[in-house]
Structure 1
Amino acid sequence: MRTTAPRRRRVRRTLAGAGAAAALTAGVLTGCGPGDSGDEGERGAQAAPRWNTAPSSIAAVGDSITRGFDACSVLADCPEVSWATGNDPAVRSLAARLLGEAEAPARSWNLAVTGSRMADLPGQLSQAAAYKPDLVTVMVGSNDACRPTALSMTPVAEFRSGFEAALAGLRAASPTTQVYVSSVPDLQRLWEQGKDDPMVRKVWSLGICQSMLADPLSAALGAKTRREQVRARVVEYNEVLREVCAKDPLCRYDGGAVFQYPFSVEQLSRWDWFHPGKDGQARLAELAHRQVTAAQPPR
């Protein structure tokens, strides 16, 4: 009988030792040691990279808006007034506001191309990644909606896959670069601003954004439906930009700021009354600076 009692004690000691070892192992794996609650380990695992509100270099990608198209002369780029990287003091571009007017030319790069669509963004971001910028600005999508007809607009699924591929490529090449994404402007509002001016309608008839601007005074059901379809597609594009950007801790969407901005005729190009003029570019720069330097992303 006496031989069984020590054996039981040894069994109990062995089990207790195994339990302690398991607890210690669990503590190591979760980052908790003696006296730790486990909360700090969870917070550490969930911690996301912090947004830098004072980037020291900027690359800009996108379409004609970022190139300053039609802002200085007819049918021509004018990058010096670009909201993102321009050097015109009347605009005070995002680069000038963040880096200072003296430093901006050496530490900012405008890689946008007039006419670009989402399909062109992966290539542009690949170029931007080569500079390893602290921040890259993205404004693209207007040309995906501005097509010869509403039926030829870029499908939403294709728009999404293009944006996902573009961000993935940037992350692989430049993991720490922050991304500021501007929403697509409300094209229907731009139509409303210029449609009643005969000169504006004449310029639009040359082929500018026909999916929205064709037959600008027509109140026929077909024309109204077409304009509504274009606006709805822009809203869908902006939702894609928001959703995809939200999955990347170093991507910040503007919360729809550009889409919601009430551009007036005075802020549009005096050559096409559709692209932002110098004053419109200044407003875009102001919006972007406010968003990039905010402690928290827009809600």
Structure 2
Amino acid sequence: MPARELVVLGTASQAPTRHRSHNGYLLRWDREGLLFDPGEGTQRQLLFAGVASSAVTRICLTHFHGDHCLGVPGVVQRLSLDKVAHPVVAHYPASGAHWFARLRYATAFHEVAELREEPVADDGPVATGAFGTLSVRRLDHPVESFGYRLDEPDGRRMLPERLAAAGVTGPAVSRLARDGSIEVGGRTVRLDDVSAPRPGQSFAFVMDTRLCAGVEELAAGVDMLVIESTFLHPDADLAHSFGHLTAREAAEVAARAGVGTLVLTHFSQRYRDPLAFAAEAAEVFDGPVVVAADLMRIPVPPRRRR
């Protein structure tokens, strides 16, 4: 199983269809499991995907429209039913705290799992740790909405041939990585001498929004961009009136931002052919385009050398 992958749980927009469940996306990122926008049916979709509730470490809501949050009650209660031992952190727009309270305690249940609420009020970092930095940017939708971005810090990758030439072996490699330099055979070996820069990976999640500065900032240079493309471009006026993007607009963002892999999702039920979204995006973006489907698994692409 890849250490970093996107598990797609649902890809519909306002109304689910026979083939698409409401939104739901689990980003596996090493030991973290970030569950984005769990819509109605997410608990069951997790079962179909073979993902245990214990895989979830964070719940990240972009906004409080039903297709992005009506799965919260089932997920929260399942955490306690399964006696998940680690704390789970919930991020959501602070202006919707009353909605989250209703979702969290929608029915009576025996609360065992620890759910920590960390509402989001402004642009900026919301969490940091070994996984990197999770940050948010405000989007443009009829209700307050935030997009999320995860950035791994840059690091170094060891070069075996240079390590061997410098006589650095075994536990000395770890000491060198930790301390930055070590003494070997009476001379100093520096980390820069035996390694090369390793750019950190990055991921962005952009849901319901019109084009705005936040979209561009979230997408800038990421390895994977998951972004709504509710409409096709002939319906751009309709998209904008409801606060959404078209597939062409999403792809134009990806092209401007230098995105690695573009993942399109959140499709209106008015469209029958998912390939139309890929075709529209390919007209303006020449990188890999994935039209998300329920229960699809998408590996986070390898780090790019920048």
**TM-score, normalisation: structure 2:** 0.31
Could you say which structure has the higher strand fraction? Answer: 2
**TM-score, normalisation: structure 1:** 0.32
Could you say which structure has the higher helix fraction? Answer: 1
Q: Return the structure number with greater relative CO, CA threshold 8 A, min gap 6.
A: 1
Task: Flag the structure with larger Rg.
Answer: 1
